[in-house]
Amino acid sequence: KALLETTHFGHTIFYEEVLDSTQPTAHRLAQEGAKEGTLVICEEQTAGRGRMMREWQSQKGKGIWMSVILRPDVPTHKAPQFTLVAAVAVARGIEDVTGVRPAIKWPNDLLINGLKCTGILTEMQSEPDLVNALIMGIGINVNHEQQDFPEEIQGIATSLKLQAKKEIDRAELTARILFYLEHYSAEYVIEGFENIKKQWESYSCTLGQRIKATTLRDVLIGEAVEITDDGVLKIKLDNGEIKGVYSADISLEP
Ligand code: BTN
């Protein structure tokens, strides 16, 4: 708390040594009326969750496993952009504290040297058309050694320590990320998406690339051409047709 430079983010902290996942705990607290900026954080998750129903490895004491409750006063159609807001906030925090600039793979994976160091899972509680709460789950591989990663993610995952070649202070990084999350989420609500989109583009390693996007319905191959103001990724297919995807798994296509 001494490191926090926020007006309210991270002022209420729910800390446990071990949780199954910070997400359901944050969902429950949000339902019980927890304030914006409430932080749920733990040392170890026994059932960490990723996007697309995947599991998320959350080794004890090695990473930052946290969920932050946001309560933006926006209609639900303005919620998807928060995924990009979070990616920019975490990227800037990592850059400040480690000196290494991560790349953002659409929508919100952070990579360093092509390896994933951070995943973000955004979930929403809504009334019919209004956002009641956003639960931002952020998982960062911070001080892992190479052998800490299980075999199935060797060659895919990395940690900040491995990339920056120094031990990283998790409390300092958490405080920095909360600072940017507070800053950019307020900016998005008050001033709109324009500046944040520019920031996102400056970190992007997806735009201009030939990609394969696997959605729940189909597989699209083409060039990632732009991000719209709604946070949608536009892909130019080989037949010239432009398609937008809201949610997908992206891989670079040679
Ligand atoms: C992804 O890349 O698939 C998203 C991973 C999100 C992981 C974080 S760790 C903290 C929070 N609790 C979870 O169970 N998942 C998110």
Q: 49 labelled as ligand-binding?
A: yes
Dig out the tokens for 219 from the structure: 């597989």
What does DSSP say about strands 13-19 and 39-45: parallel, antiparallel, or unpaired?
parallel
Q: What was the pLDDT predicted at 192?
A: 93
Q: How many CA atoms lie within 13 A of 123 on its CB side?
A: 20
Q: Residues 31, 77: one domain?
A: yes
Cα-to-centroid distance, 237 and ligand 1 (Å): 31
Q: Residues 195, 217: one domain?
A: no
Cβ burial of 127 (10 Å; 0-12, 13-18, 19+) is exposed
Closest CA to 126 of 84, 87, 82, 190: 82
- Our mutation pick for probing the ligand 1 site, out of 25, 138, 144, 177, counting the most ligand atoms within 8 A of Cβ, is 138
Q: What was the pLDDT predicted at 254?
A: 67
Q: Residues 230, 152: one domain?
A: no
The answer to whether position 8 is within a domain reads no
What ipTM did this prediction achieve? 0.99
> Which position has the token pair 């973000």?
120
N- to C-terminal Cα separation, the chain? 46
CB atoms within 10 A of CB 32: 7
Q: Residues 215, 138: one domain?
A: no
CB of 23 closer than 6 angstroms to any ligand 1 atom: yes
Cα-to-centroid distance, 238 and ligand 1 (Å): 34
* CA-to-CA dists, residue 128 to 31, 124, 125, angstroms: 15, 12, 10
Q: What is the number of domains present in the chain?
A: 2
CB of 119 closer than 6 angstroms to any ligand 1 atom: yes
Ligand 1 atom, smallest distance to 109 CA: 2
Q: Residues 172, 221: one domain?
A: no
Q: Residues 166, 219: one domain?
A: no
The answer to whether position 2 is within a domain reads no
Closest CA to 174 of 140, 214, 207: 140
For 231-241, write each residue's pLDDT tens digit.
899 999 999 99
Closest CA to 61 of 37, 47, 41: 41
Q: 125 labelled as ligand-binding?
A: no
Q: Residues 36, 59: one domain?
A: yes
CA distance 49 to 56: 5
The answer to whether position 141 is within a domain reads yes
Residue nearest to atom 11 of ligand 1 (CA): 137
CATH of residue 228: 2.30.30.100
CA distance 218 to 93: 35
Q: Residues 179, 220: one domain?
A: no
Would you give per-residue pLDDT tens digits along the chain (254 residues)?
889 999 999 999 999 999 999 999 999 999 999 999 999 999 999 999 998 888 999 999 999 999 999 999 999 999 989 999 999 999 999 999 999 999 999 988 999 999 999 999 999 999 889 999 999 999 999 999 999 999 999 999 999 999 999 999 999 999 999 999 999 999 999 999 999 999 999 999 999 999 999 988 899 999 999 999 888 999 999 999 999 998 888 988 76
Q: Residues 24, 142: one domain?
A: yes
The answer to whether position 4 is within a domain reads no
Range of the domain at 109: 13-203
The answer to whether position 81 is within a domain reads yes
The answer to whether position 6 is within a domain reads no
Ligand 1 atom, smallest distance to 119 CA: 2
CB of 59 closer than 6 angstroms to any ligand 1 atom: no
CB atoms within 10 A of CB 105: 22
Ligand 1 atom, smallest distance to 51 CA: 3
Ligand 1 atom, smallest distance to 22 CA: 12
The answer to whether position 3 is within a domain reads no
CATH of residue 110: 3.30.930.10
Q: 63 labelled as ligand-binding?
A: no
Q: Residues 56, 164: one domain?
A: yes
CB of 199 closer than 6 angstroms to any ligand 1 atom: no
Q: What was the pLDDT predicted at 210?
A: 96
Cα-to-centroid distance, 106 and ligand 1 (Å): 16
Alpha helices for 99-192 (secondary structure H): 160-164, 170-191
Q: Residues 81, 122: one domain?
A: yes
- Our mutation pick for probing the ligand 1 site, out of 21, 27, 49, counting the most ligand atoms within 8 A of Cβ, is 49
Q: Residues 198, 215: one domain?
A: no
- Strands of the sheet containing 249-252, edge to edge, are 242-245, 233-237, 219-227, 210-214, 249-252
The answer to whether position 7 is within a domain reads no
CB of 51 closer than 6 angstroms to any ligand 1 atom: yes
What does DSSP say about strands 210-214 and 219-227: parallel, antiparallel, or unpaired?
antiparallel
